[in-house]
Structure 1
Amino acid sequence: MSEQMKLGFVGVGVMGRPMARRLIEHGHSLVIYDHNEEALAELSAIGAQVAGSARQVADSAQVVFTSLPTPAIFKDVALGADGLVFGKTIRILVDLSTVGSRTEQEVAAGLLEKGIETVDAPISGGAAGAQKGTLAVMAAGKPEAIDQVRELFDIFGKVFIVGEKAGQAQLLKLLNNMLSSTAFAITSEAFVAGVKGGLDPEVMMSVFNAGSGKNGATLDKFPKQVLPGTFDFGFPIGSVCKDIGLAVEECQALGVPMWLGNTARQVWNYAAMQDGKSRDMTELVKYVESWSDGKGVAR
């Protein structure tokens, strides 16, 4: 049934742009909206129709994807004065953003008043995964609504059905990101300590990955972005701060004390305050190096 739908996409930035491109490349008609003129021009050149507002997207498409940077922006795009909720054609919102369960639930309730279903579908895998179609898609919503868009998720990567209520996938995504960012922080500390102690970086990573210390940072980000010195994972420190902040708040609301989560949150927030907000998340290791008197080897 998804093949018969005209699709919309609001938010074609770092993650949204490659996902929108994949939809077009798989033969889908797409109407898009964003403030980024460069992104709009790139997608328009391969067949996307550019709308003048989020509401215009919702006037044209039955299924609208959103990939937006903050809860406030997502809420405004969905429920604001010129938002998706006023669209004449939209029937399903598929939210690919990371905005937290409370915001997702609030938006879903507002849209449902107009007969619009929400599929809560945050993604994990970074910009590279979005380009290659290897993302993990966590989907929550009414089974009937998920069925409508299930084939479209296959274009993005592997789908995991989390539950039947909007917000459940958001919680899982935040927990995933908290684990990922905490692993990178502690791996950065171990890496800098090892180098300062005279260990070879390549040997360190090989041993970590052959033993019990392996994690997403040792398996992926350090070999691909830190050791080569490219620092181009494609996710800024400011976004890590947003995600881990939401994660800690949601966990505390559930009664979990979050001693370690709060500590990791403080590390990332401190790096952001040291001019790091827009820097790639893999550059955290540079900050750990500088906090350790600047004699490490992080580039």
Structure 2
Amino acid sequence: MARRLLQHGHSLVIYDKDQSALDELAALGARVASSVREVADSAEVIFTSLPSPAIFKAVATGADGIIEGGAVRILVDLSTVGSRAEQEVASALATKGIETVDAPVSGGAAGAENGTLALMIAGKSEVVERVRALFDVFGKVFIVGEQPGQGQLLKLLNNMLSTTAFAITSEAFVAGVKGGLDPEVMMAVINAGSGKNGATLDKFPKHVLPGTFDFGFPISSVCKDVGLAVEECQALGVPMWLGNAARQLWNVAAQQDGADRDLTDLVRTVEGWANR
């Protein structure tokens, strides 16, 4: 996403703990800052894309975080951190005159690279309008509400649906192959029928059947997202029978075979459970 902003002529001041990411963007023209505070002292609009609610809150409202910046006026959060963390940060930043736009994205690494992400935007309409041209660089914009946290809820529901579909598709394909079916034939039939879903249409043909297992999203992030989704739904009074089952499956897979693996590698864990 940062690379796309540079390619569209925007000036960037960047900070990350991953030096290789900084080096890559610096080579494309971004100015590297030495801290979060330096970014917040340099830019009116800040984008964050962070891996957990705790890290997001520390970066946004911790010591020398965004909240202390002298230039920042709008925080656009692209992370998936849940509505409670988003609302907490938005309230804290508002005391310093900093507006928050809740803007989680869906579409994976390929969507970010190609500018085909789906953006779920929640924030004051006048604030969203000020940064709308930046969103258009990333993909398709959906305005889902005016309150920070509403985008987070929709993103978590989306991810829960996506990863649950991948889990059940993994079980189905392992069973089919173990029963003697050709996986390519299975794929063609399912995608021509009522069983098709995001896994059969995209992840399996592109990342599982070729044996690359390289969608670009770790199992640890799946566990985080599904856990947050289940918690938010339960807080709304929705019993999560299937959501809890999916959360348990992903957590066991992470503990057994490693959480840093690509989510598509779940298929090999299911194969192990099936003694295939």
TM-score when scaled to structure 1? 0.92
Amino acid at match of 1:273: Q
Extract structure 1 runs of 4+ deviating beyond 2 A. Answer: none
Which residue of the partner structure matches residue 34 of structure 1?
Answer: 16
Amino acid at match of 2:180: G
Which residue of the partner structure matches residue 166 of structure 1?
Answer: 148
Aligned residue pairs, count: 276
Is 1:94 the counterpart of 2:114? The answer is no
- Counting only pairs closer than 5 Å after superposition, residues 145-294 of structure 1 correspond to structure 2 as 145-293=127-275
Deviation per CA, 1:122-176, whole angstroms, max 9, x where unpaired?
0000001100000000000000110011111110000000000000000000000
Structure 2 CA distance, aligned partners of 1:81 and 1:139? 27
Which residue of the partner structure matches residue 46 of structure 1?
Answer: 28
Contact 2:223/2:251 (<8 A) preserved: yes
Contact 2:77/2:100 (<8 A) preserved: yes
Shift of 1:274: 1.1
Which residue of the partner structure matches residue 138 of structure 1?
Answer: 120
Between 1:165-174 and 1:51-60, the stretch displaced more is: 51-60
TM-score when scaled to structure 2? 0.99
Deviation per CA, 1:32-81, whole angstroms, max 9, x where unpaired?
00011110011001110011111110100000000000000000000000
Structure 1 CA distance, aligned partners of 2:33 and 2:257? 35
Structure 2 CA distance, aligned partners of 1:248 and 1:267? 13
Aligned-pair RMSD on alpha carbons?
Answer: 0.5
Structure 1 CA distance, aligned partners of 2:230 and 2:169? 20
Secondary structure of 2:41's partner?
helix
Is 1:63 the counterpart of 2:45? The answer is yes
Question: Could you tell me the percent identity over the aligned residues?
Answer: 77
Secondary structure of 1:43's partner?
helix
Shift of 1:276: 2.2
Amino acid at match of 1:74: F
Unaligned runs of 5+ in 2: none
Shift of 1:82: 1.0
Secondary structure of 1:139's partner?
strand
